[in-house]
Structure formats: C-alpha cells, structure tokens
Amino acid sequence: MGNFLRFLIKKLIEILASLAVLAALSFLLLKVLPGGPFDEEAALNPLVKETLAARWGLHESLPTQLGKYLLSLIQGDLGISMVHPDQTVVAMIQQDLGNTLMLNFVALVFVIFSAFALSLLSLRFRDGFFEKSVDQLMIAFLSLPSLFWGPLLIYFFGFYFNLLPVAFLTEPKNYILPVLTLSLRPLATLVRLLKTSLHENYNLDYVRTAKAKGVGEWRVLTHHVLRNSLIPFLSYAGPLMVGLLSGSFLVEMLFAVPGLGGQFINALSDRDYTLIVGLTLFYGAMLIVINSLIDLVMRWVDPRMREEV
Amino acid sequence: MKKPSVILAGSFLSILVLAVILVPVLTGDQAYTQNVEAILQSPSRVHWFGTDTLGRDLFMRVLIGARVSLTVGVVCSFLTFLIGLSYGALAGWAEGYVDRALMRFCDIMMAIPSFILVSVLCLSFKLLIPVEDPFWSALWGLCLGISATHWMSMARVTRGMVLEIKRKPFVEAAIALGGTRTHIFIRHILPNILSTILVLVALQIPTNILYESFMSFIGLGVHPPFTSWGILVREGWKTLSSFPHLILFPSMILFLTVWSFHILIDSFRR
C-alpha cells in the first residue's frame, strides 16, 4: 500500500504545482493586458486615482501583488467583476455553473453510449455496408462546425418544422438540439479511437481462444474485446471532456443557454478581465482535478499501471 | 484506385483556391459594392448565393472572406509547426528536469479548454501587438492566438520521436564525428520525423480555419467591413429565422472545406 500512498502524494503535489503555474500565468495576463480598471473614468482627479490605486495595492511590487493574489485564491476569492462591481466572480460562476454542467453531462453520456454502440456494431458487421457508412459519417461529423450544424438544426427543427424549442434549458426536450450540436464532433473522434482499439484487440490470440471454446460472437465482443478496449477509452476521457467543454461555449451562445460559456463570451466583449481570468482558472482547475481522478481510476482498472510510479 | 469522395474533396479544394485567387481579380470589387435596390435577395442566376442586408453579393463575399480564413489556416499551421517542433525537440534532447518541466507545462496547457485559451490569447495579442491598422492587428492576433495554443500535441509527438531516434546508432555516430546539436537535429533527426509531423501540420489547417470562424463569430477576429467566413456567419446569424441562406451558404462552404481537408488527409495516411 506504500506504493499507492507515494502515488497519491505525488499526484497531489503535481496538481498543486499545476494550479500554481496556472494562477501565476493568469495573473501575469491580467497585468499585461492594456487598460486598467480605472482608465475609463477619464476625468478622474489624479488625487482620487492615487487613492484608488493605494486602496487596491497597485503601488506594491509585482511579486508582492502576485503573493497577495495567490493568497486570496487559496481562500477561494477570485475578485470582483470589473463590469458588474456589485458581484463577485465566484458568485457569478456559481450562479451559471449548473446549466453548463448539466448540458455537458447529458452530452457526455450521449457521446459515450452512442460511441460504444456504433463501434461495437461496426466491428460486428465489419467490412459491410454498415461499417463503411459509419466511417464516412464519422469523417463528416469530424468536420461539422457547430456554426454550420447548430444554425441548420435551429432553422429546420425550430423554425421550418416548428418541432423543438431552440433556446434555454427549461425542459428535457430543450436539451435535444444543443446536445446534438455539441456532441457530434467528440463522438466522431471517440468512435474512430474505439474502432482502432477494438480492432487491435479483436485480432489477439485470446479472442481466437474464446471463439474456439465456442463463445458466441456477441459475447466475445462484449465480454472479452470490450473490456480490454476500456483503457484507451479512459485515457481519452480527459481530452473528451476538454473537447466537450470547449465546444459548449459556442453552443451555449447559439442556444441562449444561461451558462458559463455564454458568460465567458460576454466577458470577452465587455473586457471584464477579472471574470475572464476567473473563468480560465476555474475551467483549468476543474479539468486538472478531473484528469488526476481519471489517472487514479486507470490505476485501479489496470494493474499493469501500478508498477510504473 | 481513388474513392469518389477523395476526388470530390480534391476538386472542391482546388476549385475553391483557384476561385478565391482569380474571381475577385476578374470581377472587381463586387464583395463590397452595396446596392440598396437588391437587398436580401434569394439565390438567383445573377447572385448565386443571394445578397445580404446591404445588397452585397454573398457569393463574392464568401470568396473574399475565404482569403482571410484560408490564410489564417495555413499561416497558423506553419507557426504551430515551428513552435511545436522546437519545443518538442528541446524537451526530447534535454531529458531530465528540463524535459519534465516542459512536458508538465504542456499538460497544463492541454487541460484548459482550447476555446478559452484561443479567445483569451487572441484578445491579448490583438491589444498588445503594435500594429495600427485594425485589419492587420486582428489578423496577427488570430494567427498568434491560434498557433500559441495548438502546438502541444505536435510538441509531444516530436519529443517522443526525438527521444527514440537520438538513441539510434547513426545519431551516436554523428555525435562521435563531432556534429553540433543543430546539425544533428536538422540533418539526422528531422528527416526521420518529418513525415509524421507533416500529417499533424496538415490536420491543423482545418482546425485553424474553424477557430478563425469561431473567433470572428464572437467578435474577436477581423471586424466589418473586412470579412471572413466567421464574419459572414455572424451576419447571417442575425437573420436566421427569415433569411436562412445568409448563414447556410457561408457555413456550408466552411463545412465542405474542413471536410475536404479531412478526407484528403485520411487518404494520404493510408
């Protein structure tokens, strides 16, 4: 068990170091970007400006400022929105986090289920019409920009046939179009990855043995081949989530979802630097933690990985 | 034996590139000529893709916009190639602590959704670059922002291959003969990894084109009156419910371009 403890401590240090680098970088960005918080008020009395700068500690040396910034980060304080001074960044994130997580979670479940179904089916009916059409479809999905696919879905299902709602996430059926827009590209990547790893495993000796024992084709696929293809899937789970979250920015904007993505895009056009940096840090921290959790799961699933620490 | 999809993709791309270069030169300034008497027309024989809210010919605007989009796609790929190659080569050549620190940084960059990174960097570069002209500063912002965030996978692949190749006997021989590091890298290692890297570079082009359109769509890329596919989609998005052709034509061309790149790269790989 000592091995496992060492691994945990190492992971923890890694996470903390990554977060510190991320925080320092975002702080620097905040400093480098032109335009301070008080530049807008052009007619500001120099004395008032001076007092404001002293109040917010802008005269101190850069390292001191960075130290104070990191200290407040540890206390969970991301500062105050520059454009909406009555709101803290943390409160703004909390308020909209739910919608983003829900949308991405539904999309993630949809992507995983359909990717496994499609890749297993195309291995079962390999070299046939089904596999060929899946291959072609996946290339098309891979190149499907949400800027084309989203408006197309909105126009036909929302306006032309008037079947589905095209904005907000109030009811379950509101999820259909955004999830479809969001998940096709990640789905294509995942299907291509799973197909390769399933094919590799399918040609190994243990599959031949299982077949020789008289195990049926479907059972070989689901009980033998599938289990061994889970490792590449797990190692892709991190990038998959990054991809989904990344895509959800535009999707949230297209479907008027009140989520973090829409908030981020608004913050960009408002030049709300504290909110931009706060969201960047939040996303980065969330994904660094998720990636480390996936590492832990992989260690648990695959004993071979426990050797190499 | 060529598949029909490959022929289709190849001919689409070549016609697109030819049209983008030649047609605006031959027909003059139609993309910017406003015509109040012909606004928001549906596709017809005169205006193939219809006209926009100011009566400008959408087909011509798609061709003019393609200049920005395709330029960003190619230039960013090249920049990504340079950054990724040197970063990966440095990490792979140094090993030890340098390597671990560099790769750790790579991991951190990969953990942030690229949309956040690209948009934050596009904004910063656009504001920081000392270029007066708004068009060029936007273009530089886009190119630097996109390429500063997409070099990671290329760096990783390069590092892995450099690590593998530098242990080969012919590299040892070159070192023994007194070859300098740059010489060994350029003459002995680079030729061995180039074919793999070039596929990655090519794969980067469609991604860059997509990111250019995303950035222009949310208002961080080029600004009107200049145009790119992202700007056209942005303009069409406002009139989606009543004049869908304004968004569907530019975004369909965007889709077809990206699709053609993927099909061609896929066929080269096999």
Residue boundaries of the structural domains of chain B: 60-269
Which of B5, B113, B262 minimises the CB distance to A142? B262
The pLDDT value recorded for residue A307 is: 65
CA distance A283 to chain B (A): 6
Q: Give me the residues paired with residue A80 across strands.
A: A88
Q: Could you tell me how many helices (H) and strands (E) chain A has, helices first? A: 14, 0
> Cα–Cα distance between B156 and B81 in angstroms, integer?
12
B49-63 confidence digits (pLDDT tens): 888 777 788 888 888
Residue B51: beta bridge partners?
Answer: B57
From start to end of B54-188, where are the E strands? none
Cα distance between residue A82 and residue A272, in whole Å: 5
Residue in chain B lying closest to A160 (CA):
B241
Question: Which tens digit of pLDDT belongs to each residue from B205-232?
Answer: 999 999 999 999 988 888 888 888 989 9
Nearest CA-CA partner of B208 in B2, B29, B64, B69 = B69
Contact B246, B236 (CB under 8 A): yes
**Helix, strand, coil percent values for chain B (each to nearest 5):** 75, 0, 25
Confidence of residue B185 (pLDDT cuts 50, 70, 90): confident
Phi-psi region of A79 (alpha: psi -120 to 50; beta: other; left: phi over 0): left
Separation of alpha carbons B113 and A250, rounded Å: 12
8 A C-beta contact, residue B119 and residue B220: yes
* Sign of the C-alpha dihedral computed for residues B188, B189, B190 and B194 taken in this order: positive
Asked if residue A85 has a cis previous peptide bond (ω within 30° of 0), the answer is no
- Residue range A163-178: mean pLDDT, rounded: 84
* Mean pLDDT estimate for chain B: 87
Tens digits of residue pLDDT in A287-298: 888 888 888 888
Question: Does residue A3 surpass a pLDDT of 80?
Answer: no
Residue whose structure tokens are 């499609």: A118
Show residues of chain B in contact with A280, CB under 8 Å: 112, 116-117, 120
For chain A, the 3-state helix, strand and coil shares in percent, each to the nearest 5, are: 75, 0, 20
What token pair was written down for B205?
């082009």
Q: Looking at CA atoms only, how far is residue A127 from chain B in angstroms?
A: 16
Strand spans (E) along chain A: none
Average pLDDT over every residue of A173-187: 91
- Locate B179 and state its tokens: 């070859």
Q: What is the DSSP string of B93-116?
A: HH-HHHHHHHHHHHHHHHHS-HHH
Q: What is the pLDDT of residue A182?
A: 92
Rounded Cα distance between A111 and A189, Å, is: 10
Q: Do A147 and B251 touch (CB under 8 A)?
A: yes
Cβ(B186)–Cβ(B192) below 8 Å: no
* SS3 category, B51: strand
Q: In whole angstroms, how large is the CA radius of gyration of chain B?
A: 22
- Flag whether pLDDT at A54 surpasses 80: no
Longest dimension (CA), chain B: 77
- Across residues B240-258, what is the average pLDDT? 88
- 3-class SS at B57? strand
Contact B80, B201 (CB under 8 A): yes
Give the mean pLDDT of B262-268: 88
Task: Give the number of other Cβ atoms within 10 Å of residue B3's Cβ.
Answer: 12
Question: How high is the pLDDT of residue B73?
Answer: 93
Query: How close B258 comes to chain A (CA, Å)?
Result: 5
B247 neighbourhood in chain A, CB within 8 Å: 151
What's the rounded Cα separation, in Å, for the pair B53 and B51? 7
Q: Which of A143, A155, A242 sits opposite B262 (nearest CB)?
A: A143
Q: Which residues of A touch B115 (CB under 8 A)?
A: 246-247, 249-250
Verify whether the Cβ–Cβ distance A148 to B120 is below 8 Å: no
Residue numbers in A near B220 (CB within 8 A): 268
pLDDT digits (tens, 9 = 90+) for A73-93: 888 788 787 777 788 888 888
Average pLDDT of span B114-123: 86
Long-range pairs for A151-159: beta carbons < 8 A, 24 or more residues apart = A151/A254, A151/B233, A151/B236, A151/B237, A151/B240, A151/B244, A151/B247, A151/B248, A151/B251, A152/B248, A152/B251, A153/A177, A153/A180, A153/A181, A154/A254, A154/A255, A154/B240, A155/B240, A155/B241, A155/B244, A155/B248, A159/B240, A159/B241, A159/B244
Per-residue pLDDT, averaged over A114-141, amounts to 90
Contacts of A271 in chain B (CB under 8 A): 123
**Distance from A118 to chain B by nearest Cα, in Å?**
20
The predicted pLDDT at position A35 comes to: 61
**Does residue A190 register a pLDDT over 50?**
yes
Q: Which CATH class is domain B60-269?
A: mainly alpha
Q: Pick the range with the lowest mean pLDDT from A17-31, A42-56, A173-187, B93-107.
A: A42-56
Lookup: tokens for A300: 């648990």
Chain B residue numbers with beta carbons less than 8 Å from the beta carbon of A21 are 104-105, 108
Mean of all residue pLDDT scores within chain A: 84
CB A99 within 8 A of CB A57: no
Ordered by start, the domain boundaries in chain A are 97-272
Q: Do A18 and B252 touch (CB under 8 A)?
A: no
Q: Phi first, then psi: give them for residue B166, nearest 5 degrees.
A: -70, -15
Torsion of CA A157, A161, A162, A164, to 10 degrees: -30
Cα distance from B193 to chain A (closest Cα, Å)?
23
Whole-Å CA distances, A308 to A6, A111, A299, B188: 12, 31, 10, 32
CB contact under 8 Å between B259 and A155, yes or no, is: no
Query: Residue type at A142?
Result: L
Compare all CA atoms of chain A with the CA of B114 and give the residue at the minimum distance. A246
Three-state DSSP state, A88:
strand
Closest residue of B to A251, CA-based?
Answer: B214
Are A213 and A111 in contact by the 8 Å Cβ rule? The answer is: no
Q: Do B157 and B200 touch, CB atoms closer than 8 A?
A: yes
Reply yes or no on whether the pLDDT at A143 is more than 90.
no
Q: How many CB pairs under 8 A join A and B?
A: 129
Dihedral sign from CA coordinates of A183, A184, A185, A187: positive
Q: What is the pLDDT of residues B5-31, one digit of tens each?
A: 899 999 999 999 998 888 877 777 777
Gap from A184 CA to chain B (nearest CA, Å): 13
In chain B the first and final C-alpha atoms are separated, in Å, by 12
Identify the band that residue A38 occupies on the pLDDT scale cut at 50, 70 and 90.
low
The verdict on domain A97-272 having CATH code 1.10.3720 is yes
Mean pLDDT calculated for residue range A208-217: 88
Query: Which residue, among A138, A141, A147, would best test binding to B if mutated, counting the most B CBs under 10 Å from its CB?
Result: A147
Q: What is the DSSP letter of B36?
A: G
Residue indicated by tokens 């053609």: B260
Chain A hits for B258, Cβ within 8 Å: 143, 145
Q: Is the pLDDT of residue A309 over 50?
A: no
Q: How much is the pLDDT for A39?
A: 59
- Smallest Cβ–Cβ distance between B116 and the set A143, A159, A280 belongs to A280
Residue type at B214? F
Average pLDDT on A115-134 reads 90
pLDDT of residue A184: 92
The reply to whether the predicted model has a pTM over 0.95 is: no
Under an 8 A CB cutoff, do A32 and B124 touch?
yes
Q: Which residue does chain A place closest to B153, by CA atoms?
A: A239
In this prediction the ipTM stands at: 0.83
Residue ranges with strand state E in B10-154: none
Please report, in angstroms and rounded to a whole number, the separation of the first and last CA atoms in chain A: 13
What pLDDT is recorded for position A40? 58
Q: Which of A36-50, A162-176, A244-258, B248-262 has the lowest mean pLDDT?
A: A36-50
How confident is the model over B24-44, as a mean pLDDT?
Answer: 76
Report the alpha-carbon distance of residue B56 to residue B52 in Å, rounded. 6
Structure-token pair, residue B26: 């031959």
pLDDT recorded at residue A67:
83
Residue B37 confidence (pLDDT) above 60: yes
| pLDDT for the residue A43 | 65
- Of B103 and B108, the structure prediction assigns the larger pLDDT to B103
